[in-house]
Structure 1
Amino acid sequence: MKKIILNKGKDKAAWQLHPWIFSGAIAQVHGKPQNGDIVSVFNQEAEFIAYGMYNGNSRVAVRLLEWDPQQEINEAWWRKRVAKAVNNRKALLTENNNTVRLIFAEADFLPGLIADKYADYISIQVHAAGTEAVKAIIVDELANTLKPLGIYERSDLKSREHEGLPDTNGLLFGQTPPNFVDIIENGISYQVNIVEGQKSGFYCDQRENRAITAKYTKGKRVLDCFCYSGGFTLNAFREGAASVTSVDSSALAIETLINNVRNNGFDVSKHQAVQSDVNKYLRDLGEQGEKFDLIVLDPPKYAPSRSSLEKASRAYKDLNRRGMLLLNSGGLLSTYSCSGAMDIDTFKQVLAWAALDAGKEIQFIHQFSQPEDHPVRASFPEGEYLKGLLVRVL
């Protein structure tokens, strides 16, 4: 039997259903498991804890799957877990929203697996060697359950390097997605590039936050930074924004954004799309004395780990300071961090420092989080990565 024996005192989190066992917690490995193999995990008293996926290359040496010793981790087990995750999202799929995260890795008890539905296509990402080993089963279950036109893989992830896996992109089922897939979110149409776009093609984790922020934009001059394909921009126009300036460093993002504004019938004369480094552009706007009524700051992940949190905090502070200086008195900052290492209290403190440096007083008037298709498992708080604040700058 392929067994993992934990060091004394290192089994508490596993008993409490946390899905990760780090390499430093392991005392012994029996049976010479290969990367991706299913192993049984025991404590020093030889008590069974759980089954999990082993990887000797990774700092997360075992990703736990099942705590019931009577359950066998076989094809039926994987199919049942996939079907359950998909079923939990069915209520989110409506005529006004055909885009949803179907599977959110550890939160759905499917470690190392992301699956997003974009209209008639599914985009998946595989982060773990054990999940890679059963990818064909997962794809078949998704195909049978949802009948998509195609399932495309975008597993070009830094995390795969730590798992000893090469990057892999390509068609897994059905038809290759076209250059632009037409989707609907919040009743707004988007063109999504699944094959070449960022991440899996779109950021559906901001669905609710876009709609909430847009409620404050009627008649306002809006600046949407790190706009990607225009989620905040399009919601603002639908709610009657006077004008929107959208900024992103990606040429493909800007091209997609311009198409999205046009395809939704919004007034292109009220829109300015800018391909630029956001921090440089904010500096330039400050030197020009520009002012806005509402600014969105939705940057990429600045803190991929706790070791990078201090440096990231400085970057978040400087970015938000520049944003605050560009707001009219009473203006609003809709600002976000997708860094799991930064919790909401730390983010509030960073914004307080930014306000102090900018010579501004601020009020927190709304707190943003991730939507229900990105659930946070009680035993895995690390899954809570997206946080944001609506800030009034006085």
Structure 2
Amino acid sequence: MNKIISLKVKSAHIKSLRAGVPLIKKEAIVNHNDVKVEGTIIELVDEKNKFLAKGYYGKQNKGIGWVLSREQKEVIDQPFFEKKLKTALENRRSLFNANDTTAFRVFNGEGDGIGGFTIDYFDGYYLISWYSEGIYCFKDYVLKSLSNLVDYKGLYEKKRFAEKGTYIEDDDFIGGERAEFPLIVKENGINFAIYLNESAMVGVFLDQRDVRKTIRDKYSKGKRVLNTFSYTGAFSVAAALGGAIKTTSVDLANRSKSKTIEQFSVNGIDYESHDIIVEDVFNYFKYAVRTKATFDMVILDPPSFARSKKNTFSAGKDYPDLLEKAITITEKDGIIVASSNCSTFGMEKFKSFIEKAFDQTGDKYKVLEEFGLPRDFKTIKEFKEGNYLKVVFIQKIT
């Protein structure tokens, strides 16, 4: 690695840094131009050059690096990484031992002590996602640590640190044996077809595990379910397995239809008895209103930001209007599963969106359940942005 560079923290940011905030922001550093090489080990000091923390330089989203240690003498080397990974793996022991689940997160960035990368487990295969060129410089440390700690079938990676956070296309395979795709994994007994060798998204979002189980076990029986922004139809599969009369999956991406058919098929569900529609969700809402279509359950899990030919959606601004549309086509006593993975607001703000939407329609509602990230997506209280998932089960009661 490169030599250690000292960066001076502005006085206004010292308190938060000392309180444990792990993200290093550009605006917090006096001499941020002194470091230019990604992966450089940096020491943060106050205006009197007193040590505060050490970490690495790596541009990611709103930060320029992550704090790794509050101990000046601690060395950031391969044993450092291995110690963090070992603790993370031990914390997921119950999931490794579960018979009905073979896909989950084993390392969640700053939540497990090293911001900038995650590791997911898929039935013996490990997928590493790198979110900055800086953390990618430590790739050999991570691979050696994994090799020392686990017996894996194969290793894959996703490099997600191109300009604007887009995915860098690559072969993705980095070690062990190549998987045969689709790789079928289990989640609470549900089968999912996974592709570790395709785009940045592999076929299912692991952070919604508890939500899918709840939809299947408690709310789906005998229901007509609309799943919007459905991706590969994972929520629809959960609802169908829970006894839903019919599911309707709507997503703008052309590939969503074939992917959803596949997810139904690997679970032994007749996909032809369900509707899978390639359409802009906002256009579908208009169609539903026009045809007086209603549902017993509507699932809303939009991306934080989405753009189609005619519509642009930003969760922080547009979620209440989206939810209003869902309320309109939800039956009395029906359920709305409102979800957002936007990190710029928390659960309290999200609930204000729900209240605003119901005020707009004049309907009343009851909050039935709330979910955040599952236990394998470990977070720390000092970094609220890392605890991004908000899911609320709402009943329309008028």
Structure 1 equivalent of residue 204 of structure 2? 202
Q: Which one is further off, 104-113 or 126-135?
A: 126-135
Identity %: 25
Equivalent residues in 2 for 1:75-154 (5 A)? Answer: 75-93=78-96, 94-154=98-158
Q: Following superposition, which runs of at least 4 residues in structure 1 exceed 6 angstroms of deviation?
A: 162-167
Q: 2:247 and 2:61 mapped to 1: Cα distance?
A: 44
Task: Please tell me the residue identity of whatever aligns with 2:367.
Answer: F
Using the size of structure 1 for normalisation, the TM-score is 0.90
Q: How far apart, in 1, do the equivalents of 2:240 and 2:250 lie?
A: 15
Alpha-carbon distance in structure 2 between the residues aligned to 1:163 and 1:42? 29
User: Which secondary structure state, in structure 2, belongs to the residue aligned with residue 35 of structure 1?
Assistant: coil
1:267 Cα shift? 3.9
Structure 1 residue 45, shift from structure 2 partner: 2.3
Which residue of 2 is the match for residue 46 of structure 1? 49
Q: Which amino acid aligns with 1:375?
A: K
* Contact 1:226–1:248 (CA under 8 A) maintained in structure 2: yes
| Aligned 8 A contact 2:204 2:234 in 1 | no
Task: State how many pairs are aligned.
Answer: 386
- 1:344 and 1:57 map into 2 onto residues whose CA distance is 24
- 1:369, CA displacement in angstroms? 1.1
CA–CA separation in structure 2 for the residues paired with 1:250 and 1:163: 20
Matched, 1:231 2:234: yes
Distance 2:168 2:273 in 1: 45
The runs of 5 or more residues in structure 1 that have no matched partner are 304-309
Residue 299 of structure 1 aligns with which residue?
302
Output the aligned Cα RMSD. Answer: 2.5
1:248 and 2:246 equivalent? Answer: no
Equivalent residue, structure 2, for 1:70: 73
Q: Is the 8 A contact 1:3 1:30 kept in 2?
A: no
**Normalising by the residue count of structure 2, what TM-score does the alignment of the two structures yield?**
0.89
Q: Which residue of 1 aligns with 2:29?
A: 26
Residue of structure 1 equivalent to 2:183? 181
DSSP-derived class of the 1:139 partner: helix
Contact 2:59–2:134, Cα closer than 8 Å, also in 1: no
**Residue 8 of structure 1: CA displacement?**
2.6
Contact kept in structure 1, 2:215 and 2:242, CA below 8 Å: no
Aligned partner of 1:367 in structure 2 is 370
> Equivalents in 2 of 1:163, 1:146: separation in Å?
30
CA distance in 2, matches of 1:313, 1:58: 17
User: Secondary structure of 2:12's partner?
Assistant: coil
What is residue 5 of structure 2 aligned with on the other side? 2
The answer for the alignment partner of 1:60 in structure 2 is 63
Whether contact under 8 Å (2:294, 2:329) holds in the other structure is yes
The alpha-carbon deviation at position 171 of structure 1 amounts to: 1.4
| One-letter code aligned to 2:118 | I
Secondary structure class of the residue paired with 2:288: helix
Partner deviation per Cα, 1:223-263 (whole Å, 9 max, x = no partner): 11122222211221222111111122223332122122122
1:59-79 alpha-carbon deviations (Å, 9 max, x no partner) = 523311011123111111112
Which of 11, 14, 20 is residue 11 of structure 1 equivalent to? 14
Q: Deviations over 1:112-150 (max 9, x none)?
A: 001111112222211123311111221232244332222
Q: Which is further off, 279-288 or 20-29?
A: 20-29
Higher mean alpha-carbon deviation, 278-287 vs 163-172, is at 163-172
Contact 2:118 2:128 in 1 (8 A): yes
Q: Distance in 1 between matches of 2:363 and 2:32?
A: 57
Matches within 5 A, 1:304-323: 312-323=315-326
1:282 aligned to 282, 285, 294, which one?
A: 285
In the superposition, relative to structure 1, how do residues 311 and 268 fare at CA in structure 2: closer, same or farther (>3 Å)? closer
The residue that corresponds to 2:309 in the other structure is none
Aligned partner of residue 178 in structure 2, secondary structure: coil
